Chains A and B, each alone.
Chain A
Amino acid sequence: MAITLYDFELSGNCYKLRLLMSILKLRYDIVPVDFYPGRQHKADWFLRLNPFGQLPVLKDDDLTLSDSGAILAYLARKYDDTGLWFPDDPAITAEVLRWHAVADDITSTASAARLALGFFYDFDVAKAQKGAHRIFRLMDEHLWFGEREGRDWLCGPAHPTTADIACFPYVMLSEEGGISRQDYPALRRWTDRVRRIPGFTVMSGVFPAGRALEEA
């Protein structure tokens, strides 16, 4: 097995894969892609890998994959011996994929606002921020009731899944897009829990959490 990640260091979508591979203790090579300012993800050589012109791309031997959510599912199914990260259960699979879709909505809102403010993309910042707040409100409510009902993660199982990995980066980076998380206390507490998953790793703008009391 030889995994290669086509990666941009500041991309939250690439970080999702680095995060899961760190948790699963997978070794991989990195090919840096200059997303900004080089726009290499629109270069011919990259479009041959992914005609949609989006990061990340992951190669596993001869297999070439794109879309962060799809790759998370692939890595979990193939390399997670515990079967916990993408559980083989119809109802839970549906639940996880539902949140993968939310993760894409977070990308099109919170990440878009960050690209506009930090990478000079010509996006409607106010609209992107408003869209992110709408999603964060729903996530906060979902996670707040989860705490009351004994559920710590986005999906039903008593452990995190790829749904949590997929939604985490652009929630955590939202302030770079001018989106405060002050009104979402349960969402903030969930980011503490994600950051305490064994094998967690950081990226620029994502800070580590301290240890939980029970680990202290």
Chain B
Amino acid sequence: MTLSLSDPTWYPIASSEDLPYRHVYQGQLLGRELAVWRADDGNVNVWENRCLHRGVRLSIGINEGGELKCQYHGWRYANRSAGCTYIPAHPADAPARRIQNRTYPVREAYGLIWSSANDQQAFRPFAGAEGHDWFALRPMPVNAAPEDVLAALVGLAPDDQPADLLPGLAVRFGGTYYFVQPVDAGRAVIRGLLRERPADPVAALRHYNELLSKLRDRLERSASRKPAPEPLQPAYDKVSADLATMPDIAIPRGNTVTVVVKRKWTSADGVIGFELAARDGHLPTFQPGAHIDLHLPNGMTRQYSITNGPGELMSYIIGVKQESASKGGSKVLVETVREGDLLSISEPRNNFPLRRDATRTVLIAGGIGITPLLSMARFLDKSALPYELHYFTRAGETTAFRSELEALHGKVIFHTGLPRSEIGTTIAAALGQWSMAQHVYVCGPGPMLETVRATATAQGWPDESIHFEYFKNDKIIDSSSSFDVELARSAMTLHVPSGKSIMEVMREAGLTVPSSCEQGACGTCLTTVIEGEVDHQDVYLNDSEKRANSCMMTCVSRAKSARLVLDI
């Protein structure tokens, strides 16, 4: 029998006991090295043992419970998806492209971790697997060809109990099962299971360990007399240059995912929590600060921040404010969507990335603005990074996600029902004077954002250290100007009359233009400006970005000059 790199059989690759929390196990199957780790939620990850960045083994990395951090340059990958969540060399950017490590199928069953080289076969329990309290023996690595190891195991069968060969390099006699893990052409691990837990477990483990050690020594003596088989040669895909560089802007993906409303509950007075679960497997990777577009039954689209912590990909939890002045978005969600309903969401997008290299991180939330900051606090919490979270609410009953916040280990301060006059001084005290490597993240109602930005600036915080995300643009858009736009790449010049946006004019001309909020808040339609002076009317770009005049939002912003040249 020759081993094949494309063998779809499921083999055991570790014992459950090999994977304590916060450990990374080094394994190998059919020539491919594996980094295997258990997240704090119990999920077992089986990944190619290679960081996408510089190829360093992830088995020497750090298991932080929800993310695995590469030891070399600190790239982080999420539990379940193996998607990259953070690149320390680009601390201010979200790794927006699909940087995702190679994962292998995994199943934990009968005291063993099972995996396969590909997903061509569904996991099937071995014959007679169900209904027993399986007991795993000490695994025995052997430097011999897997088929020779199997043959030797068959020879262990007592005379009165013939060996019963099972599919996938396995053999059984009575209640003893041996599985041979084909590590490589000349290497194997014997993984034994007993159908019943023995009366004296340690004595039984020692007995079998001695038996298998002797078998191993015999096999290795005989293997050393033969020429060593050629190791398998798995191909490692090179990382594309596309993945190895950071994008200039976050490019929206446009894909949608169907989710089921698993839970809907009142988190606080006027705030409804929704748990949106994947129908099958897990949801896409997100980073702290990311949001999804939720496509509502009435045809509207609304953005909601993900509140989850690192590696929590089985469902996204969002908070929806039941606003009286709602245009119909949250109203529809709150009033008509029920548990069990299906909804369509976009893949997560991050316009509010969190740096993880700050010496001090201040998170300031107002009302429903807590949602992205809860996610940020959870990520910082898991990495034991210092942070202070200030949460302003009108009254105690409107404090959403209180129990989730109280479960955090950082400094979480609730400011409830402060008079308007005290909010400013409280924010000023919370911020303090700026010093190197301090960052503030703020999310909340417009006036509060303005207060934080103005106070921070007055207290010496530079623009780059003030991070904010607007949910909506409260400004009144002045669309009275008229001008020409030259689309450099499309070789087309269009006239934008007063009353119409650049985006509307481009769409009328047959161009496909990505957009989401269409009010200058979400950043989806960010476009590079080549020439001309922009009349910025969005709330997405900060003041220095606006002054730079190098990009704009085509949904609301216009031209001060008679002509704009855009990179479209």
Chain A interface residues toward B at CB < 8 A: 141, 144-145, 147-149, 181-183, 185, 188-189, 192, 207-213, 216
Q: What count of chain B residues pass the 8 Å CB interface test?
A: 31
> Is A182's CB under 8 angstroms from B26's CB?
yes
Residues on B with beta carbons closer than 8 Å to the beta carbon of A147: 17
Distance to closest chain B CB from A173 (angstroms): 12
> Is B21's CB under 8 angstroms from A213's CB?
yes
Of the candidates B14, B22, B27, B60, the one whose C-beta lies within 8 Å of that of A212 is B22
Number of A-B residue pairs at CB separation under 8 A: 54
**Is B64 in the interface zone, CB < 8 Å from A?**
yes
> Is B384's CB under 8 angstroms from A216's CB?
yes
> Is A207's CB under 8 angstroms from B202's CB?
no
Instruction: Report Cα–Cα, A192/B71, bound state, in Å.
Output: 14
Residues on B with beta carbons closer than 8 Å to the beta carbon of A188: 23, 25-26
Instruction: Report Cα–Cα, A208/B61, bound state, in Å.
Output: 9
> Is B201's CB under 8 angstroms from A213's CB?
no
Q: Beyond A183-B141, A185-B139, A216-B384: 12 further Cβ-contacts under 8 Å?
A: A144-B138, A145-B202, A149-B202, A182-B27, A185-B25, A188-B25, A189-B20, A192-B22, A211-B22, A212-B21, A216-B22, A216-B40
**Is B284 in the interface zone, CB < 8 Å from A?**
no
Prevailing SS type, chain B contact patch: mixed
Within 8 A of A (CB), among B6-39: 14, 17-18, 20-23, 25-28, 33
Of the candidates A141, A148, A185, the one whose C-beta lies within 8 Å of that of B18 is A185
**Is B477 in the interface zone, CB < 8 Å from A?**
no
Instruction: Report Cα–Cα, A181/B26, bound state, in Å.
Output: 8
Residues on B with beta carbons closer than 8 Å to the beta carbon of A183: 141, 189
Asked whether A209 and B62 contact (CB < 8 A) given A148-B201, A181-B26, A188-B26, the answer is yes
**Is B382 in the interface zone, CB < 8 Å from A?**
yes
Asked whether A213 and B22 contact (CB < 8 A) given A182-B27, A182-B28, the answer is yes
> Is A148's CB under 8 angstroms from B25's CB?
no
**Is B205 in the interface zone, CB < 8 Å from A?**
yes
Instruction: Report Cα–Cα, A211/B383, bound state, in Å.
Output: 9
**Is B73 in the interface zone, CB < 8 Å from A?**
no
Within 8 A of A (CB), among B30-78: 33, 40, 60, 62-65, 69, 71
**Is B495 in the interface zone, CB < 8 Å from A?**
no
Residues on A with beta carbons closer than 8 Å to the beta carbon of B17: 147
Closest B residue to A183 by beta carbon equals B141
> Is A192's CB under 8 angstroms from B202's CB?
no
Most buried by B among A185, A188, A207, A209: A185
Instruction: Report Cα–Cα, A175/B427, bound state, in Å.
Output: 52
Distance to closest chain A CB from B32 (angstroms): 12
Nearest 4 pairs between A and B by C-beta?
A210-B62, A183-B141, A213-B21, A182-B26
Of the candidates B26, B65, B71, B138, the one whose C-beta lies within 8 Å of that of A213 is B65
**Is B253 in the interface zone, CB < 8 Å from A?**
no
Residues on A with beta carbons closer than 8 Å to the beta carbon of B26: 181-182, 185, 188
Distance to closest chain A CB from B179 (angstroms): 16
Distance to closest chain B CB from A176 (angstroms): 12
Bitwise, B195-214 to A at CB < 8 A (1) or not (0) is 00000011001100100000
Between-chain CB contacts (< 8 Å), 30 pairs:
A141-B138, A144-B138, A145-B205, A145-B209, A147-B17, A148-B201, A148-B202, A148-B205, A149-B202, A182-B26, A182-B28, A182-B33, A183-B189, A185-B14, A185-B18, A185-B26, A188-B25, A188-B26, A192-B23, A207-B71, A209-B62, A210-B63, A210-B64, A210-B69, A212-B22, A213-B21, A213-B40, A213-B65, A216-B40, A216-B384
Distance to closest chain B CB from A181 (angstroms): 7
Residues on A with beta carbons closer than 8 Å to the beta carbon of B141: 183
Distance to closest chain B CB from A141 (angstroms): 7
Of the candidates B71, B206, B384, the one whose C-beta lies within 8 Å of that of A145 is B206
Within 8 A of A (CB), among B208-264: 209
Closest B residue to A182 by beta carbon equals B26
Residues on A with beta carbons closer than 8 Å to the beta carbon of B205: 145, 148
Distance to closest chain A CB from B130 (angstroms): 26
Closest A residue to B189 by beta carbon equals A183
Residues on B with beta carbons closer than 8 Å to the beta carbon of A192: 22-23
Closest A residue to B20 by beta carbon equals A189
Closest A residue to B15 by beta carbon equals A185
Instruction: Report Cα–Cα, A198/B204, bound state, in Å.
Output: 36
Closest B residue to A196 by beta carbon equals B22
> Is B60's CB under 8 angstroms from A211's CB?
no
Distance to closest chain A CB from B69 (angstroms): 8
Residues on B with beta carbons closer than 8 Å to the beta carbon of A149: 202
Residues on B with beta carbons closer than 8 Å to the beta carbon of A141: 138, 209
Distance to closest chain A CB from B25 (angstroms): 6
Closest B residue to A210 by beta carbon equals B62
Distance to closest chain A CB from B42 (angstroms): 12
Instruction: Report Cα–Cα, A141/B62, bound state, in Å.
Output: 25
Residues on B with beta carbons closer than 8 Å to the beta carbon of A145: 138, 202, 205-206, 209
